[in-house]
Amino acid sequence: MPRSSHRSKRPRLSAANADKYVLYQEAVQSADLDTAFLARVYRQARGREAWHFREDFCGTGLLSSHWIARSPRHTAEGFDLDPEPVRWGLEHNFRLDPGQMPKRIGNRFTAGRYTVHLQDVRADSSKARSPKPDLRVAQNFSYWVFKRRNEMLEYFQVARASLAAGGLFVIDLYGGPEAQEERTERRRLSGFNYVWDQHRYWPGTGDYQAHIHFEFRDGTKLSRAFSYDWRLWHLGELEDLLYDAGFARVDRYFEGSDASGRGGNGIFRAGTRGDNCASWLAYLVALR
Ligand SMILES: C[S@@+](CC[C@H](N)C(=O)[O-])C[C@H]1O[C@@H](n2cnc3c(N)ncnc32)[C@H](O)[C@@H]1O
């Protein structure tokens, strides 16, 4: 999950005082870059602006919070099963004060131009009052939680059916020989190390277990702050499934390389073949 981060001044971090969602957002997400990319891809495909955004597996809803900040007309909704990151996100990313926070979120909660649903991403949202999404996204590979072909196909079919006219469904993915290795990658950030631990990969099934750990300068750790039980999907498999689900066109966008040639530069461009590097990041953009 190699994403960029920003630096901020803060008290000395340790396992005792760190907030795992703050660290996750800093280490893993690049919401400004991502929302700018998504808006551009829609504009290029459709020649107009996307307004309503749907973030599947939204967790803290960071992307949605950046989306609605684009203009007073932008709206967003998120879907996630876990109330903990959803509540955290309402408080920290949408600045809801504790008095406004409901005791239970129920299966839908609206905060201004953001509505969050505590529901499976495959739930039928046709009865929801929100508009249909111009852009529906599944970021940070979260949809790899669907391990069987029929589950992934069902998800893609439901996603396609939910879109507004001209809507786009966008998923990210990574690959390359390093993606299949049982290895850890450590990155030094402001006050902590982010450790991406590709713990298990079974080539026979594609089963892929990964963890995120955070390490602090005082020697303390948050081990397995986040854990994932996924299948490592290949680009061609996913693209075939998107076409099987009825999408009319699927475009590939690959990340460019930085000056050293060893890392990504955060800039994604449309391409066909991709570079055969040790690890790469890409988006698949599916047009209804
Ligand atoms: C890796 S986090 C994603 C956080 C954030 N969206 C991001 O881009 O980094 C995965 C999230 O998916 C949620 N999740 C897993 N299965 C789900 C499902 N079937 N429907 C909705 N949410 C699900 C989990 O609760 C978790 O918050």
pLDDT digits (tens, 9 = 90+) for 62-74: 999 999 999 999 9
Q: Which helix (H) or strand (E) holds 23?
A: helix 20-28
> Tens digits of per-residue pLDDT, 216-275?
999 999 999 999 999 999 999 999 999 999 999 999 999 999 888 778 899 999 999 999
Q: Which domains can be identified in the chain, with CATH numbers?
A: 27-174+231-287 (3.40.50.150), 178-229 (no CATH)
Measured CA to CA, the distance from residue 253 to residue 34 in angstroms comes to 13
Token pair of 270 as six digits: 């449309």
The count of residues in the chain is 288
Q: Quick one: which atom of ligand 1 is closest to the CA of 86?
A: 27
26 touches ligand 1 (CB under 6 Å) = no
Tell which residue, 79, 66, 90, 88, has the closest CA to residue 143. Answer: 79
Task: Give the residue, out of 22, 24, 57, 81, with the most ligand 1 atoms within 8 A of its beta carbon, to mutate for a pocket test.
Answer: 57
Please count the helices (runs of H) and the strands (runs of E) in the chain. 6, 13
216 touches ligand 1 (CB under 6 Å) = no
Residue 195 has pLDDT above 60, yes or no: yes
Measured CA to CA, the distance from residue 134 to residue 263 in angstroms comes to 32
142 touches ligand 1 (CB under 6 Å) = yes
Residue 4 has pLDDT above 50, yes or no: no
Measured CA to CA, the distance from residue 67 to residue 63 in angstroms comes to 6
80 touches ligand 1 (CB under 6 Å) = yes
> Tens digits of per-residue pLDDT, 211-230?
999 999 999 999 999 999 99
57 touches ligand 1 (CB under 6 Å) = yes
Compute the Cα dihedral for 76, 82, 87, 93 and give only its sign: negative
Q: Which helix (H) or strand (E) holds 194?
A: strand 192-201
- pLDDT at position 260 is 84
For residues 234 and 175, the answer to whether their CB atoms sit within 8 Å is yes
| % of the chain with per-residue pLDDT over 70 | 95
pTM over 0.85: yes
Q: Which residues of 83-97 are buried (b: 16+ CB within 10 A; e: fewer)?
A: eebbbbbbbbbbebe
125 touches ligand 1 (CB under 6 Å) = no
Say how many Å lie between the CA of residue 81 and the centre of ligand 1: 7
Measured CA to CA, the distance from residue 205 to residue 223 in angstroms comes to 26
Atom 6 of ligand 1, nearest CA residue: 58
State the chain's mean pLDDT as an integer: 94
> Tens digits of per-residue pLDDT, 8-27?
567 899 999 999 999 999 99
For residues 134 and 42, the answer to whether their CB atoms sit within 8 Å is yes
> Tens digits of per-residue pLDDT, 43-62?
999 999 999 999 999 999 99
